[in-house]
Amino acid sequence: MSAPAIELVRIDKRFGAVHANKAIDLTVDQGSVHGIIGENGAGKSTLMSILYGFYEADSGEIRVGGKPVRIRSSADAIRHGIGMVHQHFMLVEPMTVAENVLLGAEGGAFTGPGLEHARSEIRRLGADYGLVVDPDATVGDLSVGLQQRVEIIKALYRGANILILDEPTGVLTPAEATQLFEVLKELKRQGRTILLITHKLKEIMAITDRVSVMRRGEMVAHRATGETNPSELAELMVGRSVSTPARAASQAGAPLLEVDHLTVTDARGVTRVFDMSFSVHAGEIVGIAGVSGNGQSELVEAISGMILPASGTIRIAGRDLDAGMDAADARRLGLAHVPEDRHRMGLVTAFPAWESALLGHVGDTRYGQGPLIDIDAAVGDTADKMQRFDVRPSDPMLKTANFSGGNQQKIVIAREFETDPKVLIVAQPTRGVDIGAIEFIHRRILDLKQAGKAVLLVSVELDEIFTLADRILVMCGGRLVGERASGATDQNEIGLMMAGVETGRAA
């Protein structure tokens, strides 16, 4: 039998008081898809960062193909045939696909011959693995799914036989995720080894051969995928049974969010939302379903005061969000907003956690009067939020960038949920979040509904929409194409509406 593709032996890593990896053992077979799951902050990304050379372990051994190796940088990892596709892509958007693929692997001062070779290889890899993308396309003009293809091509171009994918479907539409899985199956058929980090147990069951479970820095279980099930894996991840919260019957009151004939254009003058009208009542959750890029982002940004609509009216708790009013005005009217992209709009990762927890709320009297912030009060308030929302580690002074993606999301969730809003807009609330945190966040959203708040939920996850929403609005091409009571439809019908297919049934 061939040696394992990867063996990690007693890998240990500390960051100050945080013991991120505790004597981890892991064996990954050649030509397999091996899943690694665990809660946010369990140490998965740290472990993969050690394998890829971003960090060096304090102790332990890495073996590639049965031979001990020392990996001190990503260049070392690449030399040993290891590539990594990160959750947040490492691409230069103004450059072409070929230029991005070649970047860092130019091979000399003259890039002309290298670019032509890169174009040829991109076409070959596209044909061999189903990764078709135009080598001369500008990366910033590509969909998220195609940008991810570029990242995979970059790794394969550099000779990767072992490919690490960190939360690869976190920003993909369902159709893009299906396409990615076909690519991974083809890579496996041709002998490549895949390490898949994901929170989505459906994906683990669908694509992997084996799965390893981490909890609080330790490796707690290894399973053949065919010999386990999602319930067992969920319990291994969080150390307890996990249940889906029940959606209570809606007791809708007065409308707290009203959108009338709203039209939104982008910075280039392209219309993204066309004449859209709907309302969300007190004690109600309304879900917006749609393939990413169909106007949901622009709709949310207009309602939250981040951009000015071209026409139409937005009313929060009976008061108009007039032209010239901004996000701060929307907050004063009683709106809270969890943005879809926590890095671009929700956090400043260079700030300590307590500063990120203040964003948009610096003038709150809890943190002092006038222009000066009571830092002790702000730090104490953040520490309390961290305890209530199970942010790990619960250290307000820790740099925001040093939290896992899921714990960064909890910082944003805690900041917005704790303002006692009348209206909550929550976009992609559980993107990149583990199953235990998903259960927690869903319960908190349902608690706000029970407290009489109006919740507008935007999610590409239909499971999430059906778990939480009382009514479902479907967007396609910037238009509202249908509305259904969640108990009177199914995912198949909503999926058809998302694709612009007329179902022949009245709303």
> Do 259 and 218 belong together in one domain?
no
> b/e for 98-131, b at 16 or more Cβ within 10 A?
bbbbbeeeeeeeeeeebbeebbebbeebbeebbb
Alpha-carbon distance of 446 to 97, in angstroms, equals 43
Residue 324 lies in a domain: yes
pLDDT in tens, 364-407: 878 877 778 899 999 999 999 999 998 988 999 999 998 888 88
Residue 290 lies in a domain: yes
> Do 277 and 225 belong together in one domain?
no
| pLDDT of the residue at 359 | 92
Query: pLDDT below 70 — which residues of the chain?
Result: 1, 106-113, 171, 173, 244, 246, 248-250, 504-507
DSSP H or E segment with residue 354: helix 353-356
What DSSP designation does 20 have?
A: E
- Which residue is associated with the tokens 């990160």? 86
Q: Which domain holds residue 102?
A: 6-238
Residue 311 lies in a domain: yes
> Do 92 and 157 belong together in one domain?
yes
> Do 234 and 279 belong together in one domain?
no
Number of domains the chain contains? 2
> Do 23 and 97 belong together in one domain?
yes
Task: Please identify, among 171, 206, 238, the residue that sits at the C-terminal boundary of a domain.
Answer: 238
> Do 297 and 179 belong together in one domain?
no
- 494 with 484: CB under 8 angstroms? yes
| pLDDT of the residue at 107 | 60
CA distance to 212, 346, 354, 387, 416, per residue, from 351 (Å): 33, 12, 8, 20, 18
Alpha-carbon distance of 479 to 472, in angstroms, equals 14
> Do 311 and 436 belong together in one domain?
yes
DSSP string, 55-110: S--SEEEEEETTEEE---SHHHHHHTTEEEE-SS----TTSBHHHHHHTT---SS-
Token duo for residue 390: 């199970």
Residue 45's closest CA among 430, 387, 402?
Answer: 402
| pLDDT of the residue at 110 | 47
Q: Where are the alpha helices (DSSP H) in 142-291?
A: 144-157, 174-189, 201-207, 230-238
Residue 196's closest CA among 225, 155, 238, 167?
Answer: 167
> Do 265 and 231 belong together in one domain?
no
Residue 227 lies in a domain: yes
- 327 with 337: CB under 8 angstroms? yes
Residue 292 lies in a domain: yes
**Whether residue 393 has a cis bond before it, omega within 30° of 0:** yes
> Do 283 and 175 belong together in one domain?
no
> Do 291 and 178 belong together in one domain?
no
Give, in degrees to the nearest 5, the angle at Cα 238 between 233 and 242: 75
- 2 with 30: CB under 8 angstroms? yes
End-to-end CA distance of the chain: 60
- How many Cβ atoms from other residues are within 10 Å of residue 313's Cβ? 14
Question: pTM of this prediction?
Answer: 0.73
| pLDDT of the residue at 499 | 79
CA distance to 314, 321, 429, 454, per residue, from 258 (Å): 6, 10, 22, 11
Residue 249 lies in a domain: no
What DSSP designation does 290 have?
A: -
Task: Please identify, among 182, 204, 238, the residue that sits at the C-terminal boundary of a domain.
Answer: 238
> Do 168 and 223 belong together in one domain?
yes
Residue 363 lies in a domain: no
Task: List 485's β-bridge partners, or say none.
Answer: 471
Q: Which residues contact 267 (CB under 8 A, 6 or more apart)?
A: none
Edge to edge, the sheet with strand 319-320 lists 271-281, 255-265, 311-316, 319-320
- 130 with 150: CB under 8 angstroms? no
Residue 207's closest CA among 186, 235, 238?
Answer: 186
Task: Please identify, among 172, 207, 238, the residue that sits at the C-terminal boundary of a domain.
Answer: 238
Residue 137 lies in a domain: yes
> Do 163 and 28 belong together in one domain?
yes
- Which residue is associated with the tokens 């001369």? 136
Strand, helix or coil for residue 172: coil
CATH code for the domain of 131: 3.40.50.300
Alpha-carbon distance of 67 to 64, in angstroms, equals 5
Strand, helix or coil for residue 416: helix
Strand, helix or coil for residue 149: helix
Phi and psi at 449, nearest 5°, equal -60, -45
Alpha-carbon distance of 10 to 458, in angstroms, equals 42
